[in-house]
Amino acid sequence: MSSELMKQRINKAQMEIDLIKEEVLGSRYRQKYHFMAEAGWINDPNGLIYYKGQYHFFYQYNPYDAYWGAMHWGHAVSDDMLHFTYLPVALAPSESYDDDENGGCFSGSAIEYDGKLWLMYTGRAKLDGEYHQTQCVAWSDDGITFTKYENNPVVTAPQGYEADNFRDPKVWKHGEYFYMVCGAKKDNLAKALIYRSENMLDWEFLNVLAESRGELGYMWECPDFFEIGDKHVLMFSPMGLNECTSVYLVGDMNYETGKFIYSTTGRIDWGLDYYAPQSFNDADGRRIIVGWANSWDWMPWFKDWGPSFKDKWCGFFNLPREVVLTEDNRLKFIPIKELESLRCNETKEKNITVLKDRYLLKTDSISCEIKLSVNLLKTTAQQINLLLRSDGENGAHICIDFKRQEMSFSRDGADGWSNGTSRSPLIMADKEHLDIHIFIDQSSIEFYTDDYMTNHCLNVFAPCKNNRNYIFAAEGKAEFNFIECWEIKKATD
Ligand code: FRU
């Protein structure tokens, strides 16, 4: 009976999408090569998995509005993580534990087991007048149509934990067991709880995998845990840490006790629009992460989610990145090499000197890639500035400030809509060159530097006439070993 209700809800959602998708697809702020839904609202990436020869991306989805609402799981597949085919909505609210206008099927993850594709998600609904978040299971034989487990929920918040702050299960297999980590809150402090199971249905609480003692916020959304090299990584999006939207911890795991002891802490991205990244292993064993390119209304700089709501859609993902562990146990986040297949119209220049007058880069596309190498031995400037998506006057402004040892990315005045500046330290130690890699798309700019260890993603909703990109120096000259530009071909519908 209840699977009948989910079917009806999915059909209803599909009709809504079909009704508006043509109008949405041609609209002005649509990205050219970043993942989006056909129409409506999306937030977190969910259930990312390489399954039976294809990448499956699921996502937090409200097909009925360009704003957050009762959460469904949207679904799309891809051969290269860049070109996608949309599939029917995978999960819709339909049960007492997930059917609520302020709830639904919240974030979760996927795993292959017994030839089936299993989804683990958080159901949010009211019980006796209070909201509860519980962990639930669904599966599919064909990777398209899902059935919710009749004995859901399979895990509820432990005694002493807040019932409405227990969410976002990430599952993986290690040895004989399945493991799951969930974000939780107790005594106003964030915890990551680890559970284990032999069959994906019966779960036992193992331990508090890791926790905040105040320094890492009061709640961790979308925790993710994986092995890399001889280390383990816990990532999450913390609540209550001001400018900080994504954290990683590198350390060692004891599967007997369920305790993770970390020694390194870092930021996945310093930008204003990078949240809730989820990881998965791709076909070649690379560890890939994908994040949601937006922010929540509780963040200090929040203004709104951008102007695309006028065209009946909102939200996209940041570019997939490969995670690489460094020798000193930090992480690099490198945009996947598949992106190179979208390059065209290459220009390469060598040994360029830039002074205070603006130097116009040789790409006027609103979807392009730029790579720069600053020669730090020959550069005398105190600042190197980039003015991107500019109309000749205004633009998004990246400033590499050698004096203050800081990088900043400001979008104040960049598009007449957005505001806010993200900032990160500029790590100079003994370097001979500074590498900069930029991806510009219709409505966002991704900025990678410091060998992909310091990155900023920000959304910018500038019109197409803002298609110039400049560099200029302050207080001295900037010397570039090379400047390379490409136009990027359209990959999205
Ligand atoms: C993170 C998040 C998750 C939750 C989902 C709801 O962005 O708040 O914690 O499951 O979004 O859509």
Q: Each residue of 220-249: pLDDT tens digit?
A: 999 999 999 999 999 999 999 999 999 999
Q: 106 C-alpha to center of ligand 1: Å?
A: 6
Residue 456 has pLDDT above 50, yes or no: yes
Residue 296 to residue 272: CA distance in whole angstroms = 10
Residue 402 has pLDDT above 70, yes or no: yes
- Are 72 and 59 within 8 A, CB to CB? no
Closest ligand 1 atom to Cα of 122: 10
Residue 296 to residue 303: CA distance in whole angstroms = 9
Please tell me if the CB atom of residue 323 comes closer than 6 angstroms to any atom of ligand 1.
no
Burial of residue 269 (number of CB atoms within 10 Å: 0-12, 13-18, 19+) = buried
Residues labelled as active-site residues: 44
What average pLDDT does range 14-37 have in this prediction? 97
Residue 80 has pLDDT above 70, yes or no: yes
Quickly state the pLDDT bin for 3 (edges 50, 70, 90).
Answer: confident
- Are 33 and 343 within 8 A, CB to CB? no
- As given in the structure block, the two tokens for residue 363 are 């790409």
pLDDT at 252: 98
pLDDT at 165: 98
Q: 72 C-alpha to center of ligand 1: Å?
A: 12
Residue 142 to residue 120: CA distance in whole angstroms = 17
Q: What angle do CA 267, 225, 161 make, to 5 degrees?
A: 95
- As given in the structure block, the two tokens for residue 411 are 């979008």
pLDDT at 358: 97
Span 163-195, pLDDT tens digits: 999 999 999 999 999 999 999 999 999 999 999
Quickly state the pLDDT bin for 154 (edges 50, 70, 90).
Answer: very high
Residue 1 has pLDDT above 50, yes or no: no
Please tell me if the CB atom of residue 98 comes closer than 6 angstroms to any atom of ligand 1.
no
| pTM given for the model | 0.97
Residue 338 has pLDDT above 50, yes or no: yes
Q: Please report the DSSP string for 5-39 in residue order.
A: HHHHHHHHHHHHHHHHHHHHHT-TT--SSS-B-SS
Please tell me if the CB atom of residue 459 comes closer than 6 angstroms to any atom of ligand 1.
no
pLDDT at 99: 97
- Tell me which of 121, 222, 317 to substitute to probe ligand 1's pocket, judged by most ligand atoms within 8 Å of the beta carbon: 222
Closest ligand 1 atom to Cα of 183: 9
Quickly state the pLDDT bin for 295 (edges 50, 70, 90).
Answer: very high
Residue 277 to residue 109: CA distance in whole angstroms = 12
| Average pLDDT value over all residues in the chain | 97
The closest residue, in CA terms, to atom 9 on ligand 1 is: 221
- Are 422 and 415 within 8 A, CB to CB? no
Q: 102 C-alpha to center of ligand 1: Å?
A: 12
pLDDT at 493: 77
- Are 338 and 461 within 8 A, CB to CB? no
Burial of residue 140 (number of CB atoms within 10 Å: 0-12, 13-18, 19+) = middle
Please tell me if the CB atom of residue 437 comes closer than 6 angstroms to any atom of ligand 1.
no
- Containing 486, the helix (H) or strand (E) segment is strand 478-488
Span 299-328, pLDDT tens digits: 999 999 999 999 999 999 999 999 999 999
The closest residue, in CA terms, to atom 6 on ligand 1 is: 106
Please tell me if the CB atom of residue 299 comes closer than 6 angstroms to any atom of ligand 1.
no
Closest ligand 1 atom to Cα of 108: 10
Please tell me if the CB atom of residue 60 comes closer than 6 angstroms to any atom of ligand 1.
yes
pLDDT at 2: 63
Strand boundaries in 229-367, DSSP class E = 231-239, 247-254, 259-267, 275-281, 287-292, 313-314, 321-325, 331-335, 343-354, 359-360
Residue 365 has pLDDT above 90, yes or no: no
Residue 277 to residue 44: CA distance in whole angstroms = 7
